[in-house]
Structure 1
Amino acid sequence: MRFVPKFLLSAMSPDHFPDASRTFDAPEVAFLGRSNVGKSSLINTLLGSKEAKVSSTPGRTRAINFFALHDGTEAKFNARPALIFADLPGYGYAKISKSISAEWPKFIEPYLAEREQLALCICLVDTNIPPQESDTLLINALHAMQRPHLVVGTKSDRLGGNQLTKSLAALKKAHGVDRVLPVSSKSVGGVKTLWPEILNVIQN
């Protein structure tokens, strides 16, 4: 399936979330993770575009950025999007963690807990560092909210086969999950496996 992406809006308040009547109640897929884990890079890789702004400065994304995915051509932009991607602010970077944490209850937690259109959460964890408690807390929170979620291990191209196997095993054990899908925005490894997981939300 070919999608044409279009930046929709940035939201820093529940009042700014996309109006379901204007997006025709399209299912939303949220991308979450620590600052600099590669959320925007993965979104761009999935879309084959540069819609999501990538920065080398951790924590640059401070709003929820929404992208509408249309099946086909630009001529269909007034029609119902097939999907909406939501790029959420990162967390865990020391210099900005306090300010980000202060903003989460204002609009990010309500989005995760109450957004009816939210169909899947993609939780990104870095395969190149030890498991992080902040990631575990997020995954546990999504489980408590009964939000469907998938844990994805980023930057997998930087590790050799045995190293990657050990990293994935450690991540699964620490986060209490049965599966961590390794991906790489650089080599595009794992992206073809991830897409069907995302497309399932359209059919459900």
Structure 2
Amino acid sequence: MRLNPVFLLSATDVSHFPSEAKTYGAPEVAFLGRSNVGKSSLINSLLGSKQAHTSSTPGRTRAINFFALHEGAGAKMKVKPTLIFADLPGYGYAKISKSISAEWPQFIEPYIADRETLALCVCLVDTNIPPQANDHQLITYLKQTQRPFLVVGTKADRLSNNVLAKNMAALKREHEIDEILPVSAKTDSGTKALWQRLMAVAE
């Protein structure tokens, strides 16, 4: 089933989050990860459009961007979205000014901790680099708050099968998780499997 994305809004404060009246209480999927992990590229690959803004400068996304995914198109688009995507700012990029980094927890932590319609957190980790401490902090936080989450390994197309398997094993071991779904926004590898998991949330 093809879903058509509609940009809802950008939120830089809890008061900006879309109301249930605006989203019709549709389940939300949050995409989280380090700056430059390929988050916006993956979202665009899933949506088949350039909805999420990609940048070669890490840390460009400084708001939570919400997209409503609808069945149908144009006038035939269903009123209630099937899913809401929430594209969260990347973390772990040191060159961003301290003032901006300090503002992030004020609206990101309440979103993850308190958002009732948040059904799944998709945690993106880069399969090309060693396990990162701030990824581990996020995954541990989601376990502690009992938020459903799925860890997705990005940029999987850049590695041979042997190296990918070795890196994935290291990521699972370090982050103490049983599953990582490898994907590539460039080749679309793994995106079908990811869609199946997202649609399970919608149902």
Band the TM-score falls in, shorter-chain normalisation: over 0.9
Match of 2:102 in 1: 102
Q: Which runs of 4+ in 1 moved over 3 A?
A: 97-101
1:97 to partner: Cα distance:
7.1
Q: 2:116 aligns to what?
A: 116
1:64-90 alpha-carbon deviations (Å, 9 max, x no partner) = 000010011122457111100000000
In structure 2, the residue matched to 1:9 is 9
For residues 32-47 of structure 1, the aligned pairs below 5 Å read 32-47=32-47
Q: Please give the TM-score of this superposition, normalised by the length of structure 2.
A: 0.97
Provide the secondary structure at the position in 1 that maps to 2:36. Answer: coil
Partner residue in 2 for 1:151 = 151
Structure 2 CA distance for aligned equivalents of residues 171 and 97 of structure 1:
29
Cα pair distance change 1:171/1:97, threshold 3 Å: farther
* TM-score (ref. length: structure 1): 0.96
Give the drift of 1:101. 3.6
Identify the residue that residue 60 of structure 2 maps to in structure 1. Answer: 60
Deviates more, 1:174-183 or 1:90-99: 90-99
Matched AA of 1:168? M
Query: What amino acid maps onto 2:33 in structure 1?
Result: G
Structure 2: tracts of 5 or more residues without a match: none
Matches within 5 A, 1:125-140: 125-140=125-140
Offset from partner CA, 1:114-140 (integer Å, 9 cap, x none): 000100000000000000000000000
* More displaced stretch, 177-186 vs 91-100: 91-100
Residues 162-201 of structure 1 correspond to what in structure 2 (within 5 A)?
A: 162-201=162-201
Please give the alpha-carbon distance, in whole angstroms, between the structure 2 residues aligned to 1:175 and 1:141. 12
1:91–1:100 contact (8 Å) kept in structure 2? no
Stretches of structure 1 lacking an aligned partner (at least 5 in a row):
none
What is the percentage of aligned positions where both structures have the same residue? 67
Contact 2:120 / 2:149 at 8 angstroms: preserved in 1? Answer: yes
Aligned residues: CA RMSD: 1.2
Deviates more, 1:78-87 or 1:129-138: 78-87
User: Which string of whole-angstrom CA distances, capped at 9 and with x for unpartnered residues, describes residues 134-184 of structure 1?
Assistant: 000000001111100000000000000100000000000010100111000
Aligned length, in residue pairs: 203
Q: Is the CA contact 1:45–1:185 (under 8 Å) kept in the aligned structure 2? A: yes
Name the aligned partner's letter for residue 69 of structure 1.
Answer: L
